[in-house]
Structure 1
Amino acid sequence: MATENGYLLDNRQREAGRRFEAFAELFDPWTLGRLDRLGPLTGLRCWDVGAGGPSLPAALAARVGPTGQVLVTDLDTTWLTGLTDTSADAAPVTVLRHDVVRDQPPGDGFDLVHARLVLVHLPERAQVLRTLAAAVRPGGWLVIEDADPALQPLACPDERGPAEELANRIRRGFRALLAERGVDLAFGRTLPALLRTAGLSEVAAEAYFPVTSPACRELEAATVRQLREQLTAGGLATAAEIDQHLTNLSEQELDVTTAPLITCWGRRAPQG
């Protein structure tokens, strides 16, 4: 996530690539499973908003096939290189630098609009959601996935000892930094009401909560390395504490989790 809009996590840093890989391992199967259950994706025109990394757009392109289209947008498209080189069996992919807060929606409507872990970071999140909903064609779907750290705020729900206690203290520092940047730590749970207010029907939502995995530890380590200066400058953790936490993540089987991911979907009523 680029800092242009005040985002805490900068896509241009080296650790961003590791975070995107961990996100893909953790969340892509969940996201794609939900998209598949909406109905056949073949031939759809899709907009993936704030994609960050390439894995999900590439999977979408394969699903919609050569008769479909995939538009991928982000403030920083650094990690999206190579996406336009699709095979003959995949949809053509267009990568566009786009500010979802300030810019008009690209194109003339989409069968599927998807955004994952984007809106929660935007002070204008409700306005942006309405904009995304308006970009959905009749009969199409809007799928928004966002975190709800307040629903489960711990890094280690099973706080067995000093390593887990330290992980949870550093996670509290991370949440404090997010809150300072205007992140709504309880945003995920509000999505169903927001989608209905935006005029969508058939609204439903689910939550995904990985309790522990190597990808959870990798995501935690990459995030902490990326935020090291902010955590120490804000007095939220010492350099020694951060070093110990990173050592614990690499040398111990810490049961580290992420905030619950709320996936919410709604449909624009078909015409006629």
Structure 2
Amino acid sequence: MAEHNTDHGYLLDNQESEAGIRFGALSELFDPVTFRHVDRLGITAGMRCWEVGAGSASVPLGLAERVGRTGAVVATDIDVSWTRDIGSGVIEVLRHDVAADPPPPGGFDLVHARLVLVHVTDRAEALRRMVQALRPGGRLLLEDADPGLQPLLCPDESGPEQRLANRLRSGFRDLMAARGADLAYGRTLPRLLREAGLEDVQADAYFPITSPACAVLEAATVRQIRSRLVAAELATDEEIDRHLANVSTGRLDLATAPMISAWGRRP
């Protein structure tokens, strides 16, 4: 695995063929959670929102519906190839690295990032820039995974298929950690928001234990990282084929890592 130790950056490249499938499954799983929080925070007509590391169109489009024509949504990502799905004049798309580039100008009522910071090597700087972009009274909503809290793909490890699934998931986590991902990042979000000077900080966590979208997500993810798992001797091609066949039956109860949502207000 030494070859991966200095290989920082995204393990799951947005431009690969499976990425669209993955983002669709992530939207199905987590958009209801994200927008439950967005609506609780009172994001309504006329507000300005920054969606960080958008990856797909679903969250920017949902924000655009809420802020209307008098509001604005800035959606940023290192790779903006997904923007062909956006037909809203409210949304401005920028190619942007949250840890290296200045925040988009203007100040925001909401800054939101979902499943982004766990993959960013300089997480502290990215968070500082997001807080800096908030207007007084603006809200920061960060949602990130914590694979360390619930590391299993199959929490009900009832047989050989489930044991194989969990071993491959462990290999995936090893690859992520070798690239600088913090697998215990989600749980730190409330403290980090308080340390950044935000007020009224709260958080909760969500993860599905069985969902058709979990199976779609798992198959696309494994196909995307297959060559890396084999190269790092974390799995054989035969094991990966067997696992994908097991997933396709629909009989495995597949989960995700918990997604922790934390939010706070700039004084």
TM range (shorter): over 0.9
| Separation (CA, whole Å) in 2 of partners of 1:18 and 1:175 | 20
| Separation (CA, whole Å) in 2 of partners of 1:6 and 1:209 | 25
Quote how far apart the aligned CAs of 1:5 are.
5.8
Q: How many residues align?
A: 261
Corresponding residue for residue 185 of structure 1? 183
| Separation (CA, whole Å) in 2 of partners of 1:72 and 1:162 | 43
Amino acid at match of 1:61: A
| Separation (CA, whole Å) in 1 of partners of 2:29 and 2:40 | 19
Q: Alignment partner of 1:156: what SS?
A: coil
Corresponding residue for residue 264 of structure 1? 262
Q: How does 1:46-125 map to 2 (within 5 A)?
A: 46-83=49-86, 85-86=87-88, 92-125=90-123
| Separation (CA, whole Å) in 1 of partners of 2:99 and 2:152 | 30
Quote how far apart the aligned CAs of 1:214 are.
0.3
TM-score, normalisation: structure 2:
0.96
Residues 28, 213 of structure 2: 8 Å contact kept: yes
Quote how far apart the aligned CAs of 1:252 are.
3.5
Structure 1 residue 38 and structure 2 residue 41: aligned?
yes
Quote how far apart the aligned CAs of 1:43 are.
1.1
Q: How does 1:6-17 map to 2 (within 5 A)?
A: 6-17=9-20
| Separation (CA, whole Å) in 2 of partners of 1:97 and 1:48 | 12
TM-score, normalisation: structure 1:
0.94
Is there any run of 5+ residues in structure 2 with no aligned partner, and where?
Answer: 1-6
| Separation (CA, whole Å) in 1 of partners of 2:167 and 2:188 | 27
What value does the CA root-mean-square deviation take over the aligned residues? 1.1
User: Percent of aligned positions with the same letter in both sequences?
Assistant: 61
Structure 1 residue 236 and structure 2 residue 234: aligned?
yes
Deviations for 1:155-188, whole angstroms, at most 9, x for unmatched residues?
A: 0000010110010000000000001001100000
